[in-house]
A and B are shown apart, each in its own frame.
Chain A
């Protein structure tokens, strides 16, 4: 068996149960569990955005030995709700991504963000995240605001990305069928007894 890309050992925040797993290149693992159990908190901990206990290694290198900004470029975290900082779409990107691949028209590039729907902003956020070419994706309900056609586009794009870059992903969803369709493994978080 190859060495894991990301190893998570007993990682937990003040408001989440502990998580331990290993992710390999090309692998997609689903994370399920009731609302409020702390799935998003765990993602933030793995992305090093929240203080946490436990240990993480990327390519065998411990988290504390990697500069925070570099760690977060490699571990791409997509929150369930993204808060943009500029006015126009183009301000947030280094270069124009392939918008059409997620069903977004080119005209959106110069539009104010205020005029976009939640679903459009969600797809743009994924494209922005992938621009960093992260090794691991942490996707927190990335299709929650999308119709069936766009759900399929996003799923296919993520799978293609993982294959092309030999990256890995953790995917949070409240749709069990989606997780079964996409993931090699599903981890269900439960409240500790």
Chain B
């Protein structure tokens, strides 16, 4: 493995500064955003490195649990943001937590216990990076799915009501929107699967190869991760959308949108 020094990282930072200078000529406001984002990224990753080094040396399930809770909490907050017609905060964050928690935690457990058979099963070196990758993708899917679904329901409420008036059940009426939202939310995952290895070299695999791993070993790990990402994201989206679907009708199958917060509402 070729050792990477802090001087090397400093050189990369210089490149970012130069890029900012170039960007100023085209869009000055973006330069500040580039510097701010890069600085934040650097601080977060360095802190994460220190924190993970500490946890790796401890090997205690309590630290792994604490870190998992923090990651799940951050993913929940992120998934609940940027919704055009969001659910009320408690429902929005509750659904994101439930769907991502079930999907990502169960999938991570499955990998460490059944596939990798790490010892102990909660070995932080494996458990935390896997959970992080699964959560990252799951949150994008859940966030996109909820946003698409709730926005469509809000925009098409008159049409949904007319179909209910014609004697269709709530399940029949909502099915097309449910499918459209599922498709929209899963599209990036499918794109990621079909482009891997042809259009793009996935980040984890590239990282492993650069760190000195044999290419085929890196490929096997990457493939495992990709397949798990697809399953985890699909399960997370289906859980979140199924719950949304039930929240937007009352016990008499009437469209009940009081839990949605429309723009300006």
- Subset of 9 A-B contacts with CB under 8 Å: A49-B164, A51-B254, A68-B252, A69-B168, A69-B169, A70-B167, A84-B159, A85-B162, A132-B166
User: How many residues in B have their beta carbons less than 8 Å from beta carbons of A?
Assistant: 20
Closest chain-B Cβ to A60's Cβ sits at a distance in Å of 20
Contact A72 B166 (CB under 8 A): yes
CB-CB under 8 A for A83 and B158, given A47-B165, A69-B167, A129-B166:
yes
- The distance in angstroms between the C-alpha atoms of A81 and B159, with both chains bound, is 10
- The distance in angstroms between the C-alpha atoms of A129 and B162, with both chains bound, is 10
Does A88 sit within 8 A of B, measured CB to CB? no
Task: Name the A residues within 8 Å of B253 (CB-CB).
Answer: 68-69
> Which residues of A come within 8 Å of B, CB atoms?
44, 47-51, 68-70, 72-73, 76-79, 81-85, 128-129, 132
Closest chain-B Cβ to A129's Cβ sits at a distance in Å of 7
B239-261 vs A, Cβ < 8 Å mask (1 yes, 0 no): 00000000000101111100000
Task: Name the B residues within 8 Å of A132 (CB-CB).
Answer: 166-167
Contact A83 B162 (CB under 8 A): yes
Q: Taking each of B164, B169, B252, B255, which has the highest tally of chain A beta carbons within 10 Å of its own beta carbon?
A: B252
CB-CB under 8 A for A48 and B254, given A73-B167, A85-B176:
yes
> Which residues of B come within 8 Å of A, CB atoms?
156, 158-159, 161-170, 176, 250, 252-256
- The distance in angstroms between the C-alpha atoms of A68 and B169, with both chains bound, is 8
Contact B252 A48 (CB under 8 A): yes
Q: Closest residue of chain B to A74, judged by CB?
A: B167
- The distance in angstroms between the C-alpha atoms of A132 and B256, with both chains bound, is 25
Closest chain-B Cβ to A77's Cβ sits at a distance in Å of 4
Closest chain-A Cβ to B196's Cβ sits at a distance in Å of 36
Contact A68 B254 (CB under 8 A): yes
Q: Taking each of A48, A81, A83, which has the highest tally of chain B beta carbons within 10 Å of its own beta carbon?
A: A83
Q: Which 4 A-B residue pairs are closest in the complex by CB-CB distance?
A: A73-B167, A83-B159, A68-B253, A83-B158
- The distance in angstroms between the C-alpha atoms of A104 and B257, with both chains bound, is 36
Q: Closest residue of chain A to B252, judged by CB?
A: A68
Q: 16 additional contacts, CB 8 Å, given A69-B167, A79-B165, A85-B162?
A: A44-B161, A49-B165, A51-B252, A51-B256, A68-B253, A70-B167, A72-B165, A72-B166, A72-B167, A73-B166, A79-B161, A81-B158, A83-B159, A85-B159, A85-B176, A132-B166
